[in-house]
Amino acid sequence: MNISPTNPAQNPLLQTHHRQAKVRDTHITLAHGSGGKAMHDLIDDIFVNNFNNPILSQLEDQASFNLASLLQQGDRLAFTTDSYVVDPLFFPGSDIGELAINGTINDLAVSGAKPLYLTCSVILEEGLPVKTLRQIAASMQAAAKNAGVQIVTGDTKVVHRGAADKLFINTTGIGVIPTGINISSHNIQPGDAVIINGELGNHGAAILIARGELALETNIISDCQPLHSLVETILNQCPQIHAMRDATRGGLATVLNEFALSSHVGIRLDEQSIPVDEKVKSVCEILGLDPLYLANEGKLVVVVGREHADTVLSAMKSHPAGKNACVIGEVITSPPGIVLLKTTFGTERIVDMLISEQLPRIC
């Protein structure tokens, strides 16, 4: 966490991970980002204490790995980074900490990689309750432990009150792609099936309701979840996946437009086949939103040859994160770069790339 240690045996930060809390302040102050004792205590008490593992416990300015052990798991490294600025920090079904871990894991997983290591960098606004930071750090560790990954290094910065909105998190992830796996949007071919693992729009709708700006009451919860185990289940049954992506900002529509543009094909969706929770549909109808563009944090779009579609669908349905999986469309030759939607009325309309955010600050 940007702390330079001496010998671990002589470093008091390594010997106090489970002692009584060192941070007695109730709110973050500028001193917590000064590089002095207050900052060391904050990092040790909240981050090192929660994320503790053999690599992090060295407290170097970087994490080092054994390359031989990585090569035993695959022949390519997957590397990704993302920043999380969601508002509010806590929302039905999840929070910014769990979101940061699962979101980064999913960005690795859609390449077919096994996620292994994560970083955690935070920007804290002066005045943030320390209790809030403790909750979020604990949530991050719980999500990482659940997914079998380690948070191995990071950084902490504090900015003046008003210079940020409570808390921003940046995470970087490293994973290993097994030999023989080649997942890319450039592999998509006409005739391929388009499959999704469940209902759309829950995360975006949950965030909207959690902001309390609308007189709506509903029990919609975010779909935030790690997807690497589902991906592993799919690839064990069918390593011939052409393309895969998690539908986050911009939703399903944006992912499919990116696919169509990258592979110079068209994609036709069947509106009747696209799963959307009735409560999410109701929110969208009231507010004039389109669930195809709502953000998700646990939804996976898979494109695979039609001959393998049943195998993939069966594999997905066997996993808790894919029990509601279904085929929602197909890849077509033309018009290239265009996504079409066959509506419930039997007509077709173009599903454009999202021009502007339907909902800002959703991840």
Per 3-state DSSP, what percentage of the chain is helix, strand, and coil (rounded to 5)? 35, 25, 40
Q: What is the largest CA-CA distance in the chain?
A: 73
pLDDT at 160: 98
Alpha helices in the chain (DSSP H): 37-42, 49-51, 67-71, 96-109, 130-147, 202-210, 228-237, 251-263, 278-287, 309-317
CB neighbour burial string for 29-68, b if at least 16 within 10 angstroms, e if fewer: bebbbeeeebbbbbbbbbbbbbbebebbbbbbeebeeeee
| Residues with pLDDT less than 50, the chain | 3-18
- Placement of tokens 């935030």 in the chain: 224
Q: Are strands 150-159 and 114-125 parallel, antiparallel or unpaired?
A: parallel
Tell me, yes or no, if the pTM score tops 0.95: no
pLDDT at 20: 65
Packing angle between helix 96-109 and helix 228-237, nearest 10 degrees?
20
Write down the domain spans for the chain: 8-177, 185-350
CATH class of the 8-177 domain in this structure: alpha beta
CA distances from 102 to 19, 35, 56, 236 (A): 29, 30, 20, 21
Do 154 and 1 form a contact (C-beta atoms < 8 A)? yes
Q: Minimal CA–CA distance to 326: which of 233, 195, 213, 202?
A: 195
Enumerate the β-bridge partners of residue 79: 174
CATH class of the 185-350 domain in this structure: alpha beta
pLDDT at 213: 74
What is the per-residue pLDDT across 306-343, written as a single tens digit (0 to 9) for each? 999 999 999 999 999 999 999 999 999 999 999 999 99
pLDDT at 356: 72
185-350 and 8-177 share a CATH fold: no
